[in-house]
Structure 1
Amino acid sequence: MPANAVLQLAGLKKSYLSGDSELEVLHGIDLTLQRGEFAALIGPSGSGKSTLLNLIGLLDRPSAGQLFIDGVETSTLAEAEITRLRGQRIGFVFQHHLLIPAFTALENVMMPLLIDRGRPDAAMRARAAELLAGVGLSERADYPASKLSGGQQQRVAIARALAMRPSLVLADEPTGNLDTHTADDIFALLREVNQREQTTFLIVTHDPRLAGRCDRIVELVDGDIVSDRPNPAHQPAG
């Protein structure tokens, strides 16, 4: 595995039983993402994007092939090890933010830390407060999530995804429920985090405008990568 690779997929396949036969959804995916990359995953509905994202996020297991996260080959890991690796190395941002409505913004951001460490402490609160400041929501830290706007809720979700300082953030249609102006703000925030923290991002989007602002565009069609190209107009400086 390349020394600077955060993610490497080698011959990754996924099949499902369909009646008496087996249906292969992914046909041998090879993909490597380096530290600090900001990549888009595009493709038509039914192309296998969600299946691939679930595999990369360690929410499902491949039928064949290898999947490395930060150099750790995951196919032989026990479920408890998979859960630990996912919690510590991978952040998730979804179209539906999945916040706990009655919890405050600060408490929602603390959740991954609490799950990992078992009980709240001052360091957790400080980390959550730092992240909320980073997404411009310090003044909303004590607001219940249900009282926040859609854009504010998505900012909280981004802060929560970064709580464990993950190597890789998977963003599944992160602006899909937002108006164009708010979507642009959220996208700019993801980019800012990417550049500041050198966190690797893989963003699934149907929006060609947003995909066109990523540094690299990976296109999946019928379970195969048909195109994987850099985007010269949005390569990071230096």
Structure 2
Amino acid sequence: MTAKPPVLQLAGVRKSYGSGETESEILHGIDLTLQPGAFAALIGPSGSGKSTLLNLIGLLDRPSAGTLTIAGEETTSLDDNNLTRLRGRSIGFVFQHHHLIPAFTALENVAMPLLVARGRPDDEMYERAGKLLDQVGLGERKQHLANRLSGGQQQRVAIARALCMQPQLVLADEPTGNLDTHSADDVFALLRQINRQAGTSFLIVTHDPRLAARCDRIIELVDGAIVSDHANAAA
């Protein structure tokens, strides 16, 4: 059996903004590999480059140098259309704010990535969205408007939406940052459950040391460079 390629591989990735005398390098030669089924935390102080790195991994921006490979596909030579295709097929996003459409139901919000990809609604897309809502514990709230759900429930809908295209990698940027401790623990446990059951890889940016300590791997970024990257035996 052929081994699956890493879901993520960065080699010598640098990112600069500006040019000439005003050029400023934010990321300084990042090397990082995530294997299928990874559950990793990305930590570091504000201004360390975490958001810049996440934007590059999420194919929302391009590196200034180095190579970035997603699910075996090297991305730096891809045009915008092919980057969009790869991002939609391989990467899911969960943000600190859920970014749901308030006037849409939970079911409609989860189905939105499929609707965008296919251009028209169909029964299969809503069936898949419904199963995902069942999976995140919101089966009884499928027809509730997003703005009628609690903060924790809204983030669960956002997680289901991130999984709708069956991505290999989910990028979670402070996914519990707006939640109370109890809701944060519930949402984090859900991410872990999905990781273990479906084998989906997660890279989770968090300022919460409690949550980082529950990940299999902790990657620390300081001043645009990885200063620590180790397995977490306590997870």
Please report the TM-score for the alignment, with normalisation by the length of structure 2.
0.97
* Counterparts of residues 45-84 of structure 1 (less than 5 Å): 45-84=46-85
Cα distance in 1, alignment partners of residues 179 and 20 from structure 2: 39
Query: How far did 1:32 drift?
Result: 0.2
3-state SS in 2 of match to 1:232: coil
User: In 2, distance between residues paired with 1:153 and 1:41?
Assistant: 23
1:98 aligned onto 2:76: no
Q: What does residue 41 of structure 2 align with?
A: 40
Q: How does 1:1-238 map to 2 (within 5 A)?
A: 3-17=4-18, 20-234=21-235
Aligned CA-pair RMSD = 1.0
Q: Distance in 1 between matches of 2:143 and 2:4?
A: 41
Corresponding residue SS for 1:233: coil
AA aligned opposite 1:202: L
Whole-angstrom distance in 1 between the partners of 2:35 and 2:27: 22
CA distance in 2, matches of 1:18, 1:152: 44
- Distance in 2 separating the partners of 1:74 and 1:19: 26
Question: Which one-letter code corresponds to 1:123 in the other structure?
Answer: E
* Percentage of matched positions with identical amino acids: 73
Listed as ranges, the gaps of 5+ residues in structure 2 are none
Q: For structure 1, which runs of at least 5 residues remain unmatched after alignment?
A: none
Asked if the contact 2:11–2:29 (Cα under 8 Å) also holds between the matched residues in 1, the reply is yes
List, as ranges, runs of 4+ consecutive aligned residues in structure 1 with deviation greater than 2 Å. 18-21
Q: Figure out how many residues of one structure are paired with residues of the other and give that number.
A: 233
Residue by residue over 1:22-45, the C-alpha shift from the partner in whole angstroms, topping out at 9 and shown as x without a partner, is: 100000000000000100000000
- Separation of aligned partners in 2, 1:14 and 1:85: 21
Displacement, 1:233?
1.1
Distance 2:33 2:19 in 1: 30
Describe the SS at the equivalent of 1:192: helix
User: Residue by residue, what CA displacement relative to the aligned partner does 1:42-101 show, whole Å, maximum 9, x if unpaired?
Assistant: 000000000000000000000000000000000110101101111110000000000000
Secondary structure (helix, strand or coil) at the match of 1:97 reads: coil
Q: Residues 188-207 of structure 1, C-alpha deviation per residue, up to 9 Å, x if partnerless? A: 00000000110000000000
Shift of 1:20: 3.5
In 2, Cα distance between the equivalents of 1:10 and 1:18?
Answer: 23
